[in-house]
């Protein structure tokens, strides 16, 4: 089932014009030489580049396959600066404030979670490995935070946003993609826990009621190839 009802989602207001412009431009910048991703990964597809190694902030390389739990893997494309991830201090902690809770819930259900930073255009400043290490430490990340060099994994997934979520089952087949829940601004106002519901159903061997939602966030910052 596809769900695109985000009517209770209230994105951060600060810098709203800039964010709106970035989202509107999306990847229509391909004529300017910006790399274009593949079509978004379809439900039921196997995870691409699952054996590809990416550097974690702990200095060790790992792949999606090596990171996966017995019941699957939750992949979240993220970054250090997007207001939809980090919030903006105006009654919005962003989705990042729910990362550790989500990872704990996933682990309890046999699903591992990784964050992936694909912002190659910001690799020499805000999204460098050193900046990623500092950000992970500051926010006490309880999951791997991986650097996706040249946004190869994001391109293979067709990922567009930060955050953009993909849940795979124990066979590394995609069972859910989209947003974490339906309210970025206020965790207490969430009425639909897309990822948690999908993980719970997956762990129980049940059909996932909502397998697709619209990803809301900043565009992944790609470079020309």
> Is the C-alpha dihedral spanning 5, 7, 11, 14 positive or negative?
positive
Mean pLDDT of the chain: 87
Q: How confident is the model at residue 7 (pLDDT cuts 50, 70, 90)?
A: very low
Collect all residues with Cβ–Cβ distance below 8 Å to 108 and sequence separation of at least 6. none
Is it the case that residue 60 has pLDDT exceeding 90? yes
Reported as a single tens digit per residue, the pLDDT across 91-138 is 567 999 999 999 999 999 999 999 999 999 999 999 999 999 999 999
Q: How confident is the model at residue 37 (pLDDT cuts 50, 70, 90)?
A: low
Q: Which of 99, 53, 102, 63 is nearest to 79 (CA)?
A: 99
How many structural domains compose the chain? 1
The CATH number of the domain holding residue 45 is 3.40.30.10
List strand residue ranges (DSSP E) for the chain, in order: 2-3, 54-56, 61-62, 72-78, 111-117, 145-147, 161-162, 164-168, 174-178, 212-213, 218-219
**171 found inside a domain:** yes
Q: Are strands 54-56 and 2-3 parallel, antiparallel or unpaired?
A: unpaired
By mean pLDDT, which of 8-12, 55-59, 107-111, 168-172 is the weakest?
A: 8-12
Check whether 58 has a pLDDT greater than 60.
yes
- Per-residue pLDDT at 88: 81
Sign of CA dihedral 129, 127, 53, 213: positive
Question: Quick check: is 162 in a domain?
Answer: yes
Residue 19 has pLDDT above 70, yes or no: no
Per the model's pLDDT, the better-predicted residue between 148 and 187 turns out to be 148
Residue 224 lies in a domain: no
The reported pLDDT for the residue numbered 70 is 97
Residue 196: predicted pLDDT: 98
Residue 225 lies in a domain: no
* CB-based contact 117:128 (threshold 8 Å): no
Query: Can you give the residue range of the structural domain that contains 157?
Result: 2-219
- C-alpha to C-alpha distance for 69 and 100, rounded to whole angstroms: 16
* 188 is a domain residue: yes
* Closest among 78, 54, 181, 180 to 135, alpha carbons compared: 78
Is residue 67 a part of any domain in this protein?
yes
Tokens standing for 207? 């059909």
Q: For residue 224, is the peptide bond before it cis, meaning its omega torsion is within 30 degrees of 0?
A: no
C-alpha–C-alpha distance, residues 155 and 167, integer Å: 17
């Amino acid at each position: 089932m596809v769900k695109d009802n985000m009517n209770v989602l209230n994105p951060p207001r600060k810098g709203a014009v800039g964010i709106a412009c970035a989202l509107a431009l999306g990847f229509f910048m391909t004529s300017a030489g910006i790399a274009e991703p593949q079509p978004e990964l379809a439900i039921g597809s196997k995870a691409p580049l699952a054996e590809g190694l990416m550097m974690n902030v702990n200095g060790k390389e790992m792949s999606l396959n090596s990171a996966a739990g017995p019941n699957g893997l939750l992949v979240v494309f993220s970054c250090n600066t997007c207001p939809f991830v980090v919030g903006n201090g105006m009654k919005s902690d962003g989705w990042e404030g729910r990362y550790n809770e989500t990872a704990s819930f996933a682990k309890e259900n046999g699903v591992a979670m990784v964050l992936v930073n694909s912002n190659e255009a910001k690799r020499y400043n805000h999204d460098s490995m050193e900046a990623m290490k500092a950000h992970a430490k500051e926010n006490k990340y309880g999951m791997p935070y991986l650097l996706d060099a040249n946004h190869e994994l994001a391109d293979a997934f067709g990922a567009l946003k930060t955050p953009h979520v993909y849940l795979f089952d124990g066979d590394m087949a995609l069972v859910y993609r989209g947003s974490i829940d339906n309210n970025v601004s206020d965790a207490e106002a969430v009425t639909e826990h897309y990822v948690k519901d999908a993980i719970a159903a997956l762990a129980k061997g049940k059909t996932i009621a909502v397998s697709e939602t619209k990803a809301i966030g900043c565009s992944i910052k790609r470079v020309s190839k």
